[in-house]
Amino acid sequence: MSVPVEVRVGSDSDLPKIERAFAVLEELGVGFEARVLSAHRTPQRMAARARQLEGAAFRVSIAAAGGSAHLPGMTASETLIPVIGIPVETSQLKGMDSLLSIVQMPEGVPVGTVGIGQAEHAGLLAAQIAAQDDPLLRARLRMRRGLTGSVAPAREFVALVGPKEDKACREAMDLLAEVGVKDAGVFEPGAVADIEKSGARAIIVWAEADTLSRPAEVAARTDIPVIAAPLASGAVPSDFLPRLLEKGPVAAMGINRPRNAALFAAMIVGNTSAAVRDHLCAHRERLAEEVERKDASLIAQGIRSYLDGLKK
């Protein structure tokens, strides 16, 4: 049996809280490996295993952690397979600490985040990603989710749902092209049947304050992984992200991170495209070089001159 899914937790105390993820994977017959790997207590072991995931043919990692929940993000920084983050519920802050630690990733390193404690959604998303290479699994998954109608086999195509002329949409399209995803197209929110016929491997759905339920509405009608990309022009209310993630399964990006939505979609495509994975690797290296260049010039110039440069 192939093992396309890794499930990692920051502590074994997380295991009972994400039991539904294991149950879904077992029910669908998806092979998985479960590990306890702490970003803080065993950072080297955690990173070393993350670096092996691509080579060991894993398609997706589910990473669950609570509180100062750095496991999903640190895992994502060490691999090019998609990482789904589960924010584990905490007693004092009810998992809001976990959610914000996981979802608001910087540009270049996305984590597809589910709602607080939504382990079942994480299991379903992982199965949806794994099913793209496995028609029998896909059929079981569609049956379990009550999805009817025929779907085209997945190809190298990403669907975007939202206005074509929008800046976020253009940025995402540009980045998809940059990392070698051959084809992408924009659809209306109601056009899920057309998206299924297109053979899309991922769907990016933009969500604003008045359309927060849109990604979940699309996800309810398809087994193609839905990436929820929230956009906001100012401060948002504290229930903004929880409302976005109330229903699913959707993999949420941080607020105003359209390029991360494109990268997460490309990582899904990269599971079956060596060319896309090579581009993603080069993209990640460019980001690292940029930070290294800045660090070197800070050391060379000293803080005052560097700050003056930043203010110009």
CB closer to ligand RP5, 13 vs 305: 13
Please pick, from the candidates 65, 99, 124, 261, the single residue that binds ligand RP5 as defined by CB under 6 A. 65
| Cα separation values, 220 from 142, 247, 266, 289, 291, Å | 11, 9, 22, 40, 40
Residue 87 or 215: the one with the smaller Cβ distance to ligand RP5 is 87
Under the criterion CB under 6 A, does residue 11 sit at the interface with ligand RP5?
yes
Provide the angle, in degrees to the nearest 10, between the axes of the packed helices 19-28 and 119-130: 30
- Residue with Cβ nearer ligand RP5 (8 or 279): 8
Radius of gyration from C-alpha coordinates of the chain: 19
Q: Output the smallest distance, CB 97 to ligand RP5, in A.
A: 10
| Residue from 6, 14, 156, 223 binding ligand RP5 (CB under 6 A) | 14
Quote the least distance from Cβ 10 to ligand RP5, whole Å.
Answer: 3
66 binds ligand RP5 (CB under 6 A): yes
In whole angstroms, the minimum distance from the beta carbon of 112 to ligand RP5 comes to: 18
How many residues sit close enough to ligand RP5 to count as binding (CB under 6 A)?
9
Q: Is 72 in the site for ligand RP5 (CB under 6 A)?
A: no
Residue 73 lies near ligand RP5 (rule: CB under 6 A): no
Measured between alpha carbons, how far is 110 from 113 in angstroms, rounded to an integer?
Answer: 9
10 binds ligand RP5 (CB under 6 A): yes
Give yes or no for residue 272 binding ligand RP5 (CB under 6 A). no
Binding mask 31-60 for ligand RP5 (x = CB under 6 A): -------x----------------------
At position 80, the amino acid (one-letter code) is L
Our finding on whether 248 is near ligand RP5 (CB under 6 A) is no
Q: Is 88 in the site for ligand RP5 (CB under 6 A)?
A: yes
Which residue, 65 or 184, has its beta carbon nearer to ligand RP5? 65
Using the minimum distance from each CB to ligand RP5, give the nearer residue, 50 or 130: 50
Our CB check for ligand RP5 shows the closer of 103 and 200 to be: 103
Q: Contact residues for ligand RP5 (CB under 6 A)?
A: 10-11, 13-14, 38, 65-67, 88
